[in-house]
């Protein structure tokens, strides 16, 4: 079983030619609501990829919270570790540009009101725990400590870019970041993504750096590599990183080697970019298999 510790949001998505600059107003062509949040997105991605998933997160006692709960239930995700808060459900405002690029602002709400009690029970039985940084860092660190004590593989998707405590960083068995997050953690420039991955992998099982349209770089104790992205017609890149994370850990939990897991995650990210929204765009295991077979 895979446990995801992370956020649940409603995404308000505005489509427009480009995001406004400071002091500028732009007219959006459309507004749509989508289920999101890095934790929920990654849980859905992992579940559709075939993993048994439990989501540890928080929802507000409002219509958005009810909507997300119903959607996650439909995905077959174990929601026994979800908590209900007096704060509003987390909300993200996402500008999606014609290029497919996006800009996102988030109100955490209930995501920062998840109790630390019963963490050990909620994590018990997991082979892997996947966490991000849209929830309280103390919650993530507490989960990581439990994983280290119980010898559960702890995967940290250190996103969005934020200051990470040395303790949390040291507790990450597998570190997953994008290029910006990698540079922030290393605190110095590197000549290549491969070099950055190798440095981040020191003292842990592996490190993976996602590079957007340039694919992904990885390193572990036995080797390193770089996998190019699949060329696709990009509709919306919002959920690509979360698709990568969820499918990566689902594959690892199923016993795949790191290169195989990264290949599946890379394919899932490409497929996600071809549709609007985050959770709506997450591919099934069959879709990933068929896509990889066609390449």
Would you list the domain boundaries of the chain? 2-19+30-294
* pLDDT tens-place string over residues 161-176: 788 999 999 999 999 9
Query: Of residues 11, 78, 242, 280, which has the active-site annotation?
Result: 242
Using alpha carbons, select from 4, 140, 55, 71 the residue that is nearest to residue 278.
71
pTM reported for the whole predicted model: 0.93
* pLDDT tens-place string over residues 200-229: 999 999 999 999 889 999 999 999 999 999
Tokens (6 digits) for 234 = 């990009």
Tell me the Ramachandran region of residue 23: left when phi exceeds 0, alpha when psi lies from -120 to 50, beta otherwise.
left
- CATH tag for 2-19+30-294 (out of 3.40.50.300, 3.40.470.10, 1.10.150.450, 3.40.1190.20): 3.40.1190.20
Q: What percent of the chain has pLDDT over 90?
A: 86
Let me know if 192 is exposed, middle or buried by CB neighbors in 10 A (0-12, 13-18, 19+).
Answer: exposed
38-48 and 63-74 helices, crossing angle to 10°: 20
Whether 173 is catalytic is: no
**Separation CA 250–CA 23 (nearest Å):** 43
**For residues 197 and 224, is the Cβ–Cβ distance under 8 A?**
yes
**Separation CA 98–CA 30 (nearest Å):** 12
Judge whether residue 190 has pLDDT over 90: no
Q: How confident is the model at residue 261 (pLDDT cuts 50, 70, 90)?
A: very high
């Amino acid at each position: 079983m895979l446990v995801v510790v992370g956020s649940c949001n409603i995404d308000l998505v505005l489509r427009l030619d480009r995001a406004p600059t400071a002091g500028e107003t732009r007219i959006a062509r459309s507004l749509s609501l989508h289920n999101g949040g890095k934790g929920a997105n990654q849980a859905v991605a992992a579940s559709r990829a075939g993993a048994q998933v439990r989501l540890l997160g928080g929802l507000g006692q409002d219509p958005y919270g009810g909507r997300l709960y119903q959607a996650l239930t439909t995905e077959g995700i174990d929601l026994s570790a979800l908590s209900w808060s007096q704060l509003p459900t987390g909300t993200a405002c996402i500008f999606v540009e014609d290029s497919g690029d996006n800009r996102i602002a988030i109100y955490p709400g209930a995501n920062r009101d998840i109790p630390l009690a019963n963490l050990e029970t909620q994590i018990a039985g997991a082979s892997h725990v996947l966490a991000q940084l849209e929830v309280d860092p103390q919650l993530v660190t507490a989960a990581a400590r439990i994983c280290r004590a119980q010898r559960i593989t702890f995967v940290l998707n250190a996103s969005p870019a934020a200051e990470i405590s040395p303790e949390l960083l040291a507790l990450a068995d597998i570190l997953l970041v994008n290029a910006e997050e990698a540079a922030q953690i290393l605190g110095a420039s590197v000549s290549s993504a491969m070099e950055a991955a190798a440095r981040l992998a020191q003292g842990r099982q592996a490190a993976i750096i996602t590079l957007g349209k340039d694919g992904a770089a990885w390193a572990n104790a036995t080797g390193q590599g770089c996998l190019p992205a699949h060329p696709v017609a990009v509709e919306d890149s919002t959920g690509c990183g979360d698709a990568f994370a969820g499918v990566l850990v689902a594959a690892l939990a199923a016993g795949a080697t790191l290169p195989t897991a990264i290949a599946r995650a890379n394919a899932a990210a490409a497929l996600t970019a071809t549709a609007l929204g985050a959770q709506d765009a997450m591919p099934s295991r069959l879709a990933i298999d068929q896509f990889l077979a066609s390449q």
